[in-house]
Structure 1
Amino acid sequence: MSKGKADEISVKDFIDKIVSISRYLKTKWLVILAGGILGGALGFGYAIINKPSYTASSTFVLDESNKGAGLNQYAGLASIAGIDLGGNSGGGIFQSDNILELYKSRLMIEKALLSVASFNGKRQQLIERYIDFNHLREKWIEDDHVGNISFNGNPGNFNRVQDSIITSIVNLFNKRLLTVSKPDKKISIIRVDVINKDELFAREFNMKLVDNVNSFYSQTKTKKSYQSVRVLQYQADSVKDVLNRSINGVASAIDAAPNANPSLQILRVPSQRRQVDVQASTAIYSEIVKNLELSKMSLRQETPLIQLIDSPVLPLTVDKVSKVKGFAVGIIAGFFLTVLILFIKKVISKIMEND
């Protein structure tokens, strides 16, 4: 038998099988119809039972332009005092993109969860609100007998169970409920989305998280410069006190011998000593104040600009499967699954007959 003849027979057999299966499915139209109706009913029921999800969104701009070049003219002077103006640093501890990961850290999410907000006039921890809305206490009472657990107090003193619960909630947020992104890679606008079935919780958690992370980010970026400013300010205040006392000492020494005999130079020694102290203290104070101003300038340059653009406003964006959509998708899925099951059943029966 030629190859062309074999191909022709194979194609014919394939078409015959398709026709046979089609006829078989036509005989099962009631079953297919019932499957579609059942799927539609399930989809409709899902749309009714399923709670809507709310999305709380915040956007802010992060500007970390390197302005250190403007301080280069002071670098030599500042280095004498041991001050690093940071003009040539590559961003220090944090780069601009690191804030995206900071939002997903356990520390920041835990801090937001343990914060307190007002819900319908009642003050409540966000984690308590989350637990109550999701009926987690009832489940814990049945499974682990820890339904009365509280999250008040210092997080550093939490026990193993408390830490475990927070860890599971943090992991859930990172997997499904929290999204942090840059919509456009060319600009420094960051978007934070929190998805939850509790509209009020989603809004409050979003605002707390954004506030906590941005504050922590700014404080950490400027920590070294802030410490330098504090040290120099303390030194400036101390030297100023010494200078004031020296000035008062000069006046007191002069008052002690107002009409000193010009031939007795020893009488001028106390006031001259005090005058030397004044001159030394003045020079030291002048240098410290100069370095203090440079350090303050460095602090201002290193402080990132974080400007909130949009914050979540009620009502939030809602995502809910409509009844019509649920019914339509259910019918399609029901038809498809019923046909697939009948097809598999037909194929298996054919195999069994050939055996």
Structure 2
Amino acid sequence: MSNDTSSLKEITFSDVAEIIKRQYRFILSKWLIILVVGIGGALLGIAYAWIQPIKYEANLTFSTDEDAQSSSALLGIASQFGFNLGGKSSAFSGENVLALIKSQKIITNSLLKTVPVNNKQERLLNIYLDANGMYKSFSKSPLLKNVSFPVKQDPSTFNRLQDSVLLLVINKIQTEALMVTQPDEKLGIYKVTCLSESELFSKAFAEEVMAQVSDLYILTKTKRAQQTVTILQQRTDSIQRAYNAALYGRAALNDANLNPALQLPTVGIQRKQTDITVLATAYGELLKNLELAKFNLLRETPLIQIIDEPILPLKVVKYSKLFTGIIFAILFTFLLLVILNVKRLSKK
């Protein structure tokens, strides 16, 4: 241990300065090749930025609105009595919404939607394939040259080849085109960014993704309340039909009982009157519960509030030739220095 400490103490500031001087002299001795490689890297970076296609960026921000006061109050009351009910994890809260927007279901449904293009409807999927040059590359392949996604074709009838292309596009969009972020975790505001080579696709796809998420959001949050309203509506309609039938039945018996001295026909009338009273009471209770259920459904229906929408013309995203050239020059120069130093050390 003492030997290691003494060896470390032998390295002084003058030694470090000497190493730096040697490295500096070595770089000066190779200045020509370093200059050539640096200039070559800069030119390569400029060429790379030049051939990169222009992309259009569509940004959309939104927030979710949930009536969570009742659940939070219940959790507070339960905690006072020593019970831990835990938090209610929602598919539309926190990072869940970020993953949901980029899910395969949402992207697939959005790609298969149609938008007007030159006075006709066209799938967003076809717009993306055409803008990215994928249809052009497909034409060179005997297997893929006939692949297309007609507007009138039902997605359930897609063949294996069509499904493969669709999955390829979904993967590209998930990794390259669609980005979802939450700028401030303290605020329930989310930002959706769509980046593509088609201005029409970027705008329409971002809007369609939000429409799909909003529909799924409302359906998920209100499914149980909607089922309650549907069941109550069916039962209310059934009781109303029975009540109306009882009214007509009583009227028919009254018309048939022309002799008031006969008491036997009045038994049927009394039974119908009893049915009417019971059905009227049941109908009134069901109608009251139905209105309460509708109000509860309205209260529980959440809202996705769009804050900012993409507006044409969209932001153009293009690599800066100067910046890319500088980055490439630095990178190539650094790699060259590493290689030259490794070769020098290997000789020693």
TM-score (norm 2): 0.82
- 2:311 is paired with a residue whose SS is coil
Distance 2:241 2:86 in 1: 36
Tell me which residue corresponds to 2:32. Answer: 30
Structure 1 portions without partners, runs of 5+: 73-87
Contact 2:55 2:318 in 1 (8 A): yes
Distance 2:254 2:16 in 1: 122
| 2:184 aligned partner | 184
Of 275-284 and 50-59, deviating more is 50-59
Residue number among 86, 90, 93 corresponding to 1:96 in the alignment: 93
Q: Counterpart of 1:336?
A: 334
Match of 2:58 among 46, 56, 59: 56
CA distance in 2, matches of 1:301, 1:217: 15
Question: Displacement, 1:167?
Answer: 2.0
Name the structure 2 match of 1:215. 215
1:93 and 1:221 in contact (8 A); partners too: no
1:14 Cα deviation (Å)?
6.3
Residue 84 of structure 1 aligns with which residue? none
Q: CA deviation at 1:116?
A: 1.0
Distance 2:250 2:90 in 1: 50
Where does the alignment leave 5 or more consecutive residues of structure 2 unmatched?
1-5, 75-84
Match of 1:133 among 98, 122, 131: 131
Mapping 1:50-199, distance limit 5 Å:
50-66=52-68, 68=70, 94=91, 96-97=93-94, 98-142=96-140, 145-152=143-150, 153-199=153-199
- Residues 287 and 16 of structure 1, relative CA distance in 2, 3 Å threshold: closer
Relative distance call for 1:276 and 1:326 in structure 2 (3 A) is: same
State the match for 1:346 in structure 2: 344
Q: Which residue is equivalent to 1:82? A: none
- Look up the equivalent residue of 1:312 and give its one-letter code: P
| In 1, Cα distance between equivalents of 2:297 and 2:86 | 13
Q: Work out the CA distance in 2 between the residues paired with 1:51 and 1:236.
A: 62
Do the aligned partners of residues 231 and 40 (structure 1) sit closer, same or farther apart at CA in structure 2, a change above 3 Å counting? same
Cα deviation digits, residues 243-293 of structure 1 (max 9, x gap): 1222222223223335613xx322422322221121121122112212212
SS at match of 2:185: coil
Q: Aligned partners of 2:212 and 2:92: how far apart in 1?
A: 18
Q: Please give the secondary structure, in 2, of the residue aligned with 1:222.
A: helix
Distance 2:61 2:308 in 1: 5
Distance in 2, matches of 1:243 and 1:93, equals: 43
Task: Report what 2:303 is aligned to.
Answer: 305
Number of residue pairs the alignment of both structures matches: 328
Q: Judging changes above 3 Å, is the alpha-carbon distance between structure 1 residues 343 and 89 closer, same or farther for their aligned structure 2 residues?
A: closer
Report the aligned-residue RMSD.
3.1
Find out whether 1:256 has 2:256 as its counterpart: yes
Equivalent residue, structure 1, for 2:82: none
- AA partner of residue 126 (structure 2): E
User: Which sits farther off after the overlay, 205-214 or 18-27?
Assistant: 18-27
For residues 87 and 236 of structure 2, the distance between their equivalents in structure 1, rounded to whole angstroms, comes to 31
Amino acid at match of 2:177: L
C-alpha spacing 1:41/1:290, structure 2 compared with 1 (3 Å): same
Distance change >3 Å, CA 91–CA 256, structure 1 → 2 = farther
Q: Deviations over 1:199-256 (max 9, x none)?
A: 2211111111110111012112212221221222122112112212222222232233
Identity within the alignment, %: 36
Per-residue displacement from partner, 1:291-312 (whole Å, max 9, x unpaired)?
2122212322321122211111
